[in-house]
């Protein structure tokens, strides 16, 4: 085909759409079902109507081929587990008794059985349920959900393309089932899994599918030759099937790298590539394999996981280059639109001048359609859209929100010295010991105390105007008094104020920093029925006034013991927000870091001797490809040091991390140059303490001895045992005693009992030293 005819055939498509509905109808229906207030029939009817209206919206917007099967009651990886019959033994009875209840039992557990483990979907903030497989796993095909949803679309008279998690990614995301040796590799089950995919493909063909999309995002990560071989075999075998739809193998979130030649040679009819962040690499790799003659190329040129309008002209030029490289070029968003909110039109509080810089799922859909139209009919057909797009981009680039000269000048003037404490760690540690006068094995907590219903009600009352600011602040003060007096009575050494004023550890700061935007309806699925509204890093970041000093000082005024100041670090502020796409992440991180540096300085000036800067997201933000990690860690650790290096040697900087394993970033943790780190460790029996020791980590550390993810109260003996285990790796002079994480999700009764036991354990073990 010539580039011209490839253009003439261009179609618009997407891989998936937000599931929740405009008013989070799906969340309400599912949670109502769990509580017994919504019947199964009503739940299924709500879901079917949401699917119908999503598809209709997409088609009305001009999407030529709508996705099906991307909808989910909880998670699409769990749906795949059902599709291939890999239900864990412990859930079998529940699934056999009732498919819907069994499904939710796998997702959430029941009184009797634990749920599947949940973990992050690549480097997004979406969580999937981890398949549990073993040598005994028997796969059986169940194509019901996929076939039903395809038929729904066909009945609407639409062209539809079922979207499935591909077999290689499914296996690479799985883990050994309980009781199966930890070194079992699920990928060894590929030969057993492929016939099941073959059956599903045949069913979809019979139901009327012309194309089926198989998502293989795992292939954008570094893969061993054996894994690439498995991918090669999988698509050779699926390609060789006679009774099947055309296959589109989709990649997203990064470049395909070594997997690109593998897929290019495979007997599949189409490949989808991410041309947003990975554009240059994918283009080069495509050219190197001589393009995709005879294949359909789906070009993800509209960023599916960020909230900014596309640069249409730039995308058209990328698409123009691609036209010479494939038989047919289609236009798409880079990944499922599940990762962005639904519609900017719902945001009534955002300045319309700024709103036009933003693009949520509906707007992205329109962008994809415009680009496809530009390809087919020429740019003359979309002059209106191009002009509006140019104007919006120019308004963003030229806005004082986007570029604050004072912030930029300050960020540029940062020197190495600004990111370095005035004394090396060993000297500081001595100064801090003298200044703080803490016992061996000092006890502390991670920051938050239970966020009680009263606190939530107070916040709701404030925003509804039922109480005024003074009334709200009185309630916060009362809470702080209680938290401080409990900690004093219990004998905790370094106190916290309990964070009662914070709705969320990122949002609280985002609301106070200039340059951040909040949305009213910008819900994005985090997992299951949990939706979050990430704030948007829209412009240059500055701090008009102190954000936490009042509350920390108030807490300190109530006690002679040190009260820790509590901040969210720059990397986490980026990781749990939508980030700017018009400058490197490191530049944004540096601006946030400078704002935090001022806050740290103000806390110190107000008499705070211990300041904790939380970075739970440091590990999870690590790039998917190893080659990109050093650059990331360089800016990430520098941003942390910029935030924290302005203090006196005798001011103690703490950091905190959780939600991950840290064995592979101990060097980076050391590079933070914090004085003390607290880490999640209770469930892994202090594994992280051994990892720190193995890397010769020289600083103080508090591996958690209280698993706060469970309402269970650890006994003093249990906590003491964990401490003794910790002492084998970290000497007493450097070991802290603390829970795994903040206590905001816990209730007061178990918090009280657990912290009392934790202090008892510390005293017992001190007595043995």
Q: What is the contact surface with ligand GLN in residues (CB under 6 A)?
A: 446-448, 499, 505, 566, 614, 616, 656, 658, 741-742, 744
Whether residue 654 is annotated as binding a ligand: the answer is no
Question: Given the rule CB under 5 A, which of 106-114, 457-465, 720-728, 734-742 is the region that contacts Zn ion?
Answer: 734-742
Q: How far is the CB of 616 from Zn ion (least distance, A)?
A: 5
Q: How many CA atoms lie within 13 A of 326 on its CB side?
A: 26
Q: Measure the CA–CA gap between 640 and 596, rounded to whole angstroms.
A: 9
What is the closest distance, in whole angstroms, from the C-beta atom of residue 549 to ligand GLN in the complex? 16
Our answer to whether residue 709 is catalytic in this structure is: yes
Residue 450 binds: one of Zn ion, ligand GLN, none (C-beta under 5 to 8 A by kind): none
**What three-state secondary structure class fits 681?**
coil
The answer on whether 620 is annotated among ligand-binding residues is yes
Q: In this complex, which beta carbon is closest to ligand GLN, that of residue 70 or of residue 614?
A: 614
Question: Which tokens belong to 761?
Answer: 């354990």
DSSP string, 173-219: H-EEPTTS-TT--GGGGHHHHHHHHHHHHHHHHHTT-SEEEEE-GGG
| Partners of 520 in the β-ladder | none
Give the one entry of ligand GLN, Zn ion, none that residue 55 binds, where binding means its C-beta sits below a cut-off of 5 to 8 angstroms depending on kind.
none
Residue 98 dihedral angles phi and psi, to the nearest 5°: -160, 120
Q: Print the binding letters for residues 615-644 with Zn ion: x by CB under 5 A, - otherwise.
A: -x----------------------------
299 within 8 A of 326, measured Cβ to Cβ: no
CA distance 750 to 757: 10
To the question of whether residue 551 is assigned a binding role by annotation, the answer is no
Alpha-carbon span 33 to 46, nearest angstrom? 11
Question: Least CB distance from residue 449 to Zn ion, whole Å?
Answer: 14
> Measured at the alpha carbon of residue 274, what is the angle toward residues 123 and 345, in degrees to the nearest 5?
75
Q: Is 499 annotated as a binding residue?
A: yes
The one of ligand GLN, Zn ion, none whose footprint includes residue 392, by CB under 5 to 8 A per kind, is none
Residue 448 interacts with, from ligand GLN, Zn ion, none (CB under 5-8 Å by kind): ligand GLN
Q: Measured between alpha carbons, how far is 475 from 483 in angstroms, rounded to an integer?
A: 12
Q: Would you give the binding string for Zn ion spanning residues 658-677, x where CB under 5 A is met?
A: x-------------------
As measured in angstroms, the least distance from the Cβ of 739 to ligand GLN is 9
Burial class (CB in 10 A: 0-12, 13-18, 19+), 766: middle
Cα–Cα distance for residue pair 223/258, rounded to 1 Å: 8
C-alpha span between 735 and 733 (Å, rounded): 6
How far is it, in rounded angstroms, from Cα 72 to Cα 89? 22
447 binds, among Zn ion, ligand GLN, none (CB under 5 to 8 A by kind): ligand GLN
Separation between Cα atoms, residue 540 and residue 59, nearest integer Å: 38
CB of 640 to ligand GLN, least distance (A): 14
Residue 741 interacts with Zn ion (CB under 5 A): yes or no: yes
Smaller CB separation from Zn ion, 259 or 689 = 689
Binding residue count for Zn ion, defined by CB under 5 A: 3
Q: Which stretch binds Zn ion (CB under 5 A): 3-11, 149-157, 473-481, 609-617?
A: 609-617
Give the contacts of 10 (CB within 8 A, at least 6 positions apart): 319, 328, 329, 330, 331, 372, 375, 376
Phi, psi of 34 (to 5 degrees): -60, -35
Sort strands 676-679 and 700-703 into parallel, antiparallel or unpaired. parallel
- Choose the one of ligand GLN, Zn ion, none that binds residue 580, judging by a C-beta under 5 to 8 angstroms depending on kind: none
Smaller CB separation from ligand GLN, 115 or 498? 498
Residue nearer to Zn ion on the CB measure, 67 or 569: 569
Q: What is the 3-state secondary structure (H, E, C) of 3-57?
A: HHHHHHCCCEECCCCCCCCCCCHHHHHHHHHHCCCCCHHHHHHHHHHHHHHHHHH
Question: Does residue 330 sit in helix, strand or coil?
Answer: strand
CB atoms within 10 A of CB 508: 16
Q: Does 521 show up as a binding residue in the annotation?
A: no
- Residue 312 or 681 having the CB closest to Zn ion: 681
> For residues 738 and 516, what is the distance between their CA atoms, to the nearest angstrom?
33
**Partner that binds at residue 566, options Zn ion, ligand GLN, none, CB closer than 5 to 8 Å by kind:** ligand GLN
**Smallest distance, ligand GLN to C-beta of residue 285, A:** 38
Site string for Zn ion, 543-562 (x = CB under 5 A): --------------------
Which partner, Zn ion, ligand GLN, none, binds residue 30 by CB below 5 to 8 Å per kind?
Answer: none
CA atoms of 566 and 495, how far apart (whole Å): 11
Please, which residue, 370 or 443, has the CB nearer to Zn ion?
443
Q: Which is nearer to ligand GLN, 116 or 446 (CB)?
A: 446
Q: Quick check: 309 binds Zn ion (CB under 5 A)?
A: no
Find out whether 741 is annotated in a ligand binding site: yes
Q: For residue 224, what are its two tokens? A: 């061993």
Backbone torsions φ then ψ of 276, nearest 5 degrees: -95, -95
Q: Which is nearer to Zn ion, 383 or 745 (CB)?
A: 745
Q: Known binder of ligand: residue 643?
A: no
- Indicate the annotated binding residues: 24-27, 120, 446-448, 499, 576, 614, 620, 656, 658, 680, 741
- Indicate the annotated binding residues for L-homocysteine: 446-448, 499, 614
* Residues involved in catalysis: 709
- Indicate the annotated binding residues for Zn(2+): 656, 658, 680, 741
Kindly list the residues in this chain that would bind Zn ion in the complex (CB under 5 A). Answer: 616, 658, 741
- Indicate the annotated binding residues for L-methionine: 446-448, 499, 614
- Indicate the annotated binding residues for 5-methyltetrahydropteroyltri-L-glutamate: 24-27, 120, 576, 620
């Amino acid at each position: 085909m010539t580039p011209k005819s490839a253009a003439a055939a261009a179609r618009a498509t997407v891989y998936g759409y937000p599931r929740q509905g405009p008013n989070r109808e799906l969340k309400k229906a599912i949670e109502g079902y769990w509580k017994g207030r919504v019947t199964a029939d009503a739940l299924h009817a709500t879901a079917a109507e949401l699917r119908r209206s999503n598809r209709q919206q997409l088609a009305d917007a001009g999407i030529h081929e709508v996705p099906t099967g991307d909808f989910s009651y909880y998670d699409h990886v769990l749906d795949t587990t059902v599709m291939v019959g890999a239900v864990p033994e412990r859930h079998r009875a529940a699934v056999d008794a009732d498919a819907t209840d069994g499904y939710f039992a796998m997702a959430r557990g029941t009184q009797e059985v634990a749920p599947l483990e949940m973990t992050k979907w690549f480097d997004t903030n979406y969580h999937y349920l981890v398949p549990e497989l073993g040598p005994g796993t028997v796969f059986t095909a169940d194509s019901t959900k996929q076939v039903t949803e395809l038929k729904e679309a066909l009945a609407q008279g639409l062209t539809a393309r079922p979207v499935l998690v591909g077999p290689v990614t499914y296996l690479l995301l799985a883990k050994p089932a309980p009781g199966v040796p930890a070194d079992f590799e699920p990928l060894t089950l590929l030969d057993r899994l492929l016939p099941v995919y073959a059956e599903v493909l045949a069913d979809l063909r019979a139901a009327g599918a012309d194309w089926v999309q198989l998502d293989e995002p795992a292939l954008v990560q570094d893969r061993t030759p054996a894994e690439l071989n498995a991918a090669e075999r999988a698509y050779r075998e699926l390609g060789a099937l006679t009774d099947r739809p055309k296959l589109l193998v989709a990649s997203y979130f990064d470049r395909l790298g070594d997997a690109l030649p593998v897929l290019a040679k495979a007997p599949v009819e189409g490949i989808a590539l991410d041309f947003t962040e990975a554009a240059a690499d994918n283009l080069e790799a495509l050219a190197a394999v001589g393009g995709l003659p005879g294949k359909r190329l789906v070009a993800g040129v509209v960023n599916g996981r960020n909230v900014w309008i596309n640069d249409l002209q730039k995308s058209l030029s990328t698409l123009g280059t691609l036209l010479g490289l494939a038989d047919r070029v289609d236009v798409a968003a880079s990944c499922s639109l599940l990762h962005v909110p639904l519609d900017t039109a719902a945001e009534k509080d955002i300045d319309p001048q700024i709103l036009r810089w933003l693009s949520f799922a509906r707007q992205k859909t329109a962008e994809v359609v415009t680009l496809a139209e530009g390809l087919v009919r020429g740019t003359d057909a979309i002059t209106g859209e191009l002009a509006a797009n140019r104007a919006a981009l120019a308004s963003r680039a030229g806005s004082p929100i986007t570029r604050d000269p004072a912030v930029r000048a300050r960020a540029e003037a940062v020197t190495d010295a600004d990111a370095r404490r005035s004394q090396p760690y060993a000297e500081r540690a001595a100064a801090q010991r003298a200044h703080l006068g803490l016992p061996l094995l000092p006890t502390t907590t991670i920051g938050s105390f239970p966020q009680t219903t009263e606190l939530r009600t107070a916040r709701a009352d404030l925003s509804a105007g039922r109480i005024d600011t003074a009334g709200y602040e009185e309630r916060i003060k009362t809470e702080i008094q209680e938290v401080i007096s409990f900690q004093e009575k219990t004998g905790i050494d370094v106190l916290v104020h309990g964070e009662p004023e914070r709705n969320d550890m990122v949002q609280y700061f985002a609301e106070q920093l200039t340059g951040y935007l909040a949305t009213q309806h910008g819900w994005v699925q985090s997992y299951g029925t949990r939706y979050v509204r990430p704030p948007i890093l829209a412009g240059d970041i500055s701090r008009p006034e102190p954000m936490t000093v009042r509350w920390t000082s108030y807490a300190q005024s109530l006690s002679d013991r040190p009260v820790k100041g509590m901040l969210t670090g720059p990397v986490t502020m980026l990781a749990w927000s939508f980030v700017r796409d018009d400058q490197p992440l490191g530049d944004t991180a540096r601006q946030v870091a400078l704002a935090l540096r001022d806050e740290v300085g103000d806390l110190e000036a107000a008499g705070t001797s211990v300041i904790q800067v939380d970075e739970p997201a440091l590990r999870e933000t690590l790039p998917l490809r190893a080659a990109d990690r050093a650059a990331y860690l360089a800016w990430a650790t520098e941003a942390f040091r910029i935030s924290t290096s302005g203090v006196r040697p005798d001011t103690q900087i703490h950091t905190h991390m959780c939600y991950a394993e840290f064995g592979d970033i101990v060097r980076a943790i050391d590079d933070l140059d914090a004085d003390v780190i607290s880490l999640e460790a209770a469930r892994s029996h202090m594994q992280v303490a051994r990892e720190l020791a193995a890397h010769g980590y020289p600083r103080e550390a508090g591996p958690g001895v209280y698993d706060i993810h469970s309402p269970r109260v650890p006994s003093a003996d249990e906590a003491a045992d964990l401490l003794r285990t910790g002492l084998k790796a970290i000497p007493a002079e450097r070991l802290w005693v603390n829970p795994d994480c903040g206590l905001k999700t816990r209730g007061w009764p178990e918090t009280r009992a657990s912290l009392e036991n934790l202090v008892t354990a510390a005293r017992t073990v001190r007595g043995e030293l």
